[in-house]
Copies of this chain bind each other. A is one copy, B any other.
Amino acid sequence: MDVDSSIGYALKRTATALRTAMEASLRSLGLSVPQYSCLEILSARPEISNADLARGVFVTRQAMHQLLGGLQEAGLVSAVGSGRVQRYSLTPEGQRVIVAASAAVVAVEERMLSGLGAAERRRLHDDLERCTAALGERA
């Protein structure tokens, strides 16, 4: 097995490079990558539950619980406890932060894709989705 020709290894390398670049870009805003992901999803889908949030960020419910605690303490997220399941939303401060963070991340993604045209980007996105779908089906 040649490790350089493996697509799986290339995938890991790209994902690691992207994460590293995101960390560097978000550091000035005082956010970690999981924290940013959490805010981004919260921005797209307000009033969301802890468990749904955890699935979107690809962590366990427990990890998301800790993450939300930190974000609440920072005043970026507020909880609406109307029942047993608490639903979370961005505070005005959180909305302000996610706008800046999202712009920073978009810039990083743009740098990553700078060598690809619009059609190539669509193609890459489609290929990745096909790979994800193929892995989802139980063999």
A residues near B, CB below 8 A?
1-3, 5-8, 10-18, 20-22, 40-41, 43-44, 56, 58, 102, 105-106, 108-109, 111-116, 120-121, 123-125, 127-136, 139
Q: Which residue of B lies closest to A121 (CB)?
A: B7
Q: Which residue of B lies closest to A33 (CB)?
A: B12
Contacts of A125 in B (CB 8 A): 5, 7, 10
Q: How many copies does the complex hold?
A: 2
Pairwise interchain contact A1-B106, C-beta atoms closer than 8 A:
yes
Tell me if A's interface is mostly helix, strand, loop or mixed.
Answer: helix
Further pairs besides A14-B131, A18-B131: 5, Cβ < 8 Å: A5-B125, A10-B132, A11-B11, A123-B123, A123-B127
Given contacts A18-B135, A21-B135, A120-B127, whether A109 and B40 have CB atoms under 8 Å apart is no
Among A15, A40, A109, A132, max chain B CB count under 10 A is at: A15
Give Cα A132–Cα B13 distance, bound, in whole angstroms: 7
Give Cα A105–Cα B102 distance, bound, in whole angstroms: 35
Contacts of A120 in B (CB 8 A): 127
Pairwise interchain contact B8-A109, C-beta atoms closer than 8 A:
yes
Contacts of A132 in B (CB 8 A): 10, 13-14, 17
